[in-house]
Amino acid sequence: MTQERESLSDPKAMRALAHPARLAILNRLGMGGSATATEVAEVAGITPSAASYHLRMLAKYGFVEDAQPRGDGRERLWRAVDRPFSVGVRPDDQPEVREAKGLLIQAVRRAANEEGERALAGIDQLPKEWRDATRFSRTSLRVDAAELAWLNTEIEKLLRPYVAQHRSAEDAPSGARIAEAQVNLFPQVPRPVPGLPTEDHDAR
């Protein structure tokens, strides 16, 4: 069953999350399961002490929590909270809320773009079946608001069984690896028309 996404509205929580290291840590915990501060520090490219600080901040705002200890239990383990969230700008947002939403959306999009660029840069090293399955696409739709909302719900339903946080390596087929789906659904804003140039510079 698809979980209801929580719409973030606390500007302090959004500002806490809009940090490259914290987004990297949350992504690592979401796709790789529980981990220590040292383990997430390697992914985020920061020191373990800095990772501990970022984990505590993420925990303060409910994005991560303590996980079941492993071994002798001397290392503190963290896991991502199983709570999908979304960020949407509303006309009645207070300026502080709107600014925090903008910062978080930009940070998430920047991280997503970097992930896509890394994938594109390494696509030649992928086996043929993975190259054939990889898609970078953009499609213009003609829909009303209800249809766009319906598409979003249906896409989430389609992706839900494959989300790495809920599908263990044992449950996935042999040869499965971490992949990423990036979905953006939004109404286009008309582009400004620049008009014709006064000189044909390209003809020179």
Report how far residue 10's alpha carbon sits from residue 23's, in angstroms, rounded to the nearest whole number.
17
Domain-embedded: residue 172? no
Of 42, 8, 18, 16, nearest in space to 28 by CA: 42
Domain-embedded: residue 28? yes
Domain-embedded: residue 89? yes
pLDDT above 60: residue 1: no
Is the pTM for the entire model greater than 0.85? Answer: no
Domain-embedded: residue 38? yes
Report how far residue 30's alpha carbon sits from residue 110's, in angstroms, rounded to the nearest whole number.
18
Residues 13-46 have pLDDT tens digits of: 999 999 999 999 999 998 888 999 999 999 999 9
Residue-level pLDDT at 2: 46
33, 79 Cβ separation under 8 angstroms:
yes
Amino acid at 100: A
101, 87 Cβ separation under 8 angstroms:
yes
The encoded tokens of residue 204 equal 């020179």
The count of C-alpha atoms lying within 13 angstroms of the C-alpha of 137, restricted to the half-sphere facing its C-beta, is: 9
Of 14, 54, 19, 8, nearest in space to 35 by CA: 54
pLDDT band with cut points at 50, 70 and 90 for residue 4: low
Instruction: Please report, for residues 20, 55, 73, 102, the alpha-carbon distance to residue 62 in angstroms, rounded to integers and kept in the order given.
Output: 18, 10, 23, 20
Q: How many CB atoms lie within 10 A of CB 103?
A: 16
The encoded tokens of residue 63 equal 């994005």
Report how far residue 109's alpha carbon sits from residue 3's, in angstroms, rounded to the nearest whole number.
22
pLDDT band with cut points at 50, 70 and 90 for residue 71: confident
pLDDT band with cut points at 50, 70 and 90 for residue 102: very high
Our count of domains for the chain comes to 1
Residues 39-67 have pLDDT tens digits of: 999 999 999 999 999 999 999 999 999 99
Residues 123-155 have pLDDT tens digits of: 999 999 999 999 999 999 999 999 999 999 999
87, 14 Cβ separation under 8 angstroms:
yes
pLDDT band with cut points at 50, 70 and 90 for residue 87: confident
Domain-embedded: residue 88? yes
Residue-level pLDDT at 47: 96
Domain of residue 117: give its range.
6-141
Helix axes 20-32, 95-121, angle to 10 degrees: 60
**Mean of the per-residue pLDDT values for the chain?**
90
Q: What is the CATH number of the domain that holds 44?
A: 1.10.10.10
Q: Which helix (H) or strand (E) holds 55?
A: helix 48-60
Query: In terms of pLDDT, which residue wins out, 176 or 4?
Result: 176
Query: In terms of pLDDT, which residue wins out, 185 or 3?
Result: 185
Residues 172-196 have pLDDT tens digits of: 999 999 999 999 999 998 888 888 8
Query: In terms of pLDDT, which residue wins out, 70 or 121?
Result: 121
Q: How many CB atoms lie within 10 A of CB 162?
A: 12
pLDDT band with cut points at 50, 70 and 90 for residue 76: very high
Domain-embedded: residue 180? no
Domain-embedded: residue 131? yes
